[in-house]
Amino acid sequence: MDNTPVQMPADVSEHVITIPSPLIKKKKQPMPKKHLKDRWKKFLSQDKEGNLLVEGLSVKDLDAKFGAPLYILVERELRERLRTFKNAFPYPHFRPQFACKVNSNISIIKIAKEEGFDLDASSVGEIILGLLADYEPQQITFTNLYKTYQDIAFAAMIGVQAITTDSLEELQKIALVGKNLDLKIRIFLRINPLIKMGNYSTLKQQYGIPLHQARKAVEYATSDPHIELVGLHFHGSYIVNPQVYCVAANRLLKLAAYATELGAHIRYLDLGGGFPTHDNSHPEYGKSYNLQKAGSFIVKSLHRLLQKYNLPEPTLIFEPGKYIVSNAMIGLVKVVSCKKMGSENIVIANGSVYNMIPDRFVSNCRYEILPASKLNKPLIKKYTVFGSTCDCIDVMTRNLWLPKIEEGDLLTIMDCGAYSIVFTSNFNSLKRVPVILVKQDGSAKLIRRRDRYAEMFAPELDVLKVADPNELKYFYNLHRINFEKIWGEHLTPEIREKKLQKPLQAILSHIYRDKQNTEQTV
């Protein structure tokens, strides 16, 4: 069989990137009230035709340049959220951390660092991302439910700020790693303070050392020569009542007083994340939340508690996630098909719940969707918006009032910065979508490119290659064909669609011939 690489037809291989005209800020007009929420007012407007503008850039232009489906990250909103959070706690030793599990894009992590945040990492992968984004190891804490010996050794050897210990068993593991490495490993103890206040409860949470075992953990940590207990930690999600943080602080500081008696120097009090933002699954959550008021309230209460337990001021840590990034990201999808099924008006978008907003499945989140290329038009029909995968539960939203929707229209999925891209998958072998950072001056840059077929299939093709190079013949010699090139990864979406029709035909018939040859030879 013929093993020579596929020759690309001239008109495909000759296409180098055509630099499209730079994106130009459009003249802004206010959006109709029915579409505009207060939290978007700073960065959203529209042009006179009714196309949505993000920081003055038209979503139509973003689609032409980068290709929907994509995410748009609004840098100004991200930075303002980080600054607002940082300034909300009038406490002299305040070190907020960005909980990057919420959105681990490296540019976002880096912006958080630029704004003075440390990093809450929940895995070795996230620690590495932090290092790549230029955090010093001492700016990173490693907090999760379970760590292997290797995880602990890695974090200890690079010298993270602390490893947050989730159980008595993990404490013993850390002691053993410390002994083997001849290190004194800095730890926080994660405590479940067993709070029950109204609807809020941590009683059933799987995280942390339950309060009734906490003294035992402190005794162990303060007596082991390879452990240095430097902080206490609590994290609770979806905390609307700031009093919860104060109750947690009370229980943790009482424990800190005990640890101090046993000779520990508790330098950090880490009260986790959980701050409300506008949230899609609970429309009321975060609506009237006043972060400044909550911040002052918590700090005042903290001062009282420090006096009560006669403790020096520790460094106060919070680890916000969704508060920081949720409202700063917008999903852009294009309508690829419209149909009517009985009385239901159906719109199919070219993104999917799987590759853009899977927390609709995980926690039943609802997203607001705007008719981004028809903001001027009256809302006349109720639609169901489906994603494009072959799964009947791939429903972006139901009963959405929209103008008459046609193929090619653009829709935006609002407030999708948190727990979205980090949950996404390649279901249906669809590529996960790129992220474009939009700046206040109207410039835009790619901060995550679209997936490539080569990397999507590599985990399987790699093992076949390693096991036996001939194995690949059974898979029609995929390794010889540069699908990225055929697909036109390097071309802008517009050019790809216009120019590749004919060459694609030629390539596909070549692959098909190749496949038949392979079948005969293996």
Ligand X SMILES: Cc1ncc(COP(=O)(O)O)c(C=O)c1O
Gap between the Cα atoms of 321 and 175, Å rounded? 30
DSSP for 247-294 reads HHHHHHHHHHHHHHHTT----EEE---------SSSTTTTTT--HHHH
Least distance to ligand X from the beta carbon of 361, Å? 17
Q: What are the tokens at 266?
A: 């508790």
In angstroms, the CA 339 to CA 421 distance is 28
> Are residues 418 and 55 in contact, defined by beta-carbon separation less than 8 angstroms?
no
- If binding is defined by CB under 6 A, does position 237 make contact with ligand X? yes
CB of 318 to ligand X, least distance (A): 8
Q: Which of residues 287-326 bind ligand X (CB under 6 A)?
A: 319-323
Q: What are phi and psi of 177, to 5 degrees?
A: -60, -45
Nearer to ligand X among residue 78 and residue 372 (C-beta): 78
Peptide bond into 69 cis (omega under 30): yes
Give the interface size with ligand X as a residue count (CB under 6 A).
16
Q: How far is the CB of 397 from ligand X (least distance, A)?
A: 23
Shortest approach of ligand X to residue 321 CB, angstroms? 3
* Nearest CB to ligand X, comparing residues 121 and 221: 121
Give the DSSP H or E segment for 341.
Answer: strand 329-341
**193, 273, 314, 434: which one binds ligand X (CB under 6 A):** 273
User: Which residue in 69, 130, 274, 351 binds ligand X (CB under 6 A)?
Assistant: 274
Residues 99, 247, 411, 413: which binds ligand X (CB under 6 A)? 99
Closest approach of Cβ 235 to ligand X, in Å?
Answer: 4
Q: Residue 94 gets which letter from DSSP?
A: B
Residue 278 near ligand X by CB under 6 A: no
Binding mask 44-83 for ligand X (x = CB under 6 A): ----------------------------------------
> Shortest approach of ligand X to residue 123 CB, angstroms?
11
Identify which range of 99-107, 282-290, 340-348, 445-453 contacts ligand X by CB under 6 A: 99-107
Q: How far apart are CA 33 and CA 441, in angstroms?
A: 25
Please say whether the beta carbons of 43 and 76 come within 8 A. Answer: yes
Among 120, 279, 359, 394, binds ligand X (CB under 6 A): 120
Q: Is 235 in the site for ligand X (CB under 6 A)?
A: yes
Beta strands in 342-434 (DSSP E): 344-349, 369-370, 381-386, 395-402, 410-413
CA distances from 160 to 63, 186, 228 (A): 41, 8, 13
CB of 449 to ligand X, least distance (A): 26
Should residue 15 be labelled a site residue for ligand X when binding is judged by CB under 6 A?
no
Comparing CB distances to ligand X, the nearer of 105 and 143 is: 143
- What is the spatial distance between Cα 287 and Cα 389, in angstroms, rounded to a whole number? 33
Buried b / exposed e along 232-244 (16+ C-beta atoms within 10 A): bbbbbebbbebbb
Q: CB of residue 317 vs ligand X: minimum separation in angstroms?
A: 10
Confirm or reject binding of residue 275 to ligand X (CB under 6 A): yes
Q: Does 143 bind ligand X (CB under 6 A)?
A: yes
Query: Directed axis angle between helix 106-114 and helix 75-87, to 10°?
Result: 40
Phi, psi of 11 (to 5 degrees): -75, -10
* CB closer to ligand X out of 40 and 234: 234
Site for ligand X contains 118 (CB under 6 A): no
Q: Is the CB of 31 or the CB of 240 nearer to ligand X?
A: 240
Nearer to ligand X, 123 or 301 (CB): 123
Q: Interface with ligand X includes 413 (CB under 6 A)? A: no
Binding residues (CB under 6 A) for ligand X: these are 99, 101-102, 120, 143, 235, 237, 272-275, 319-323
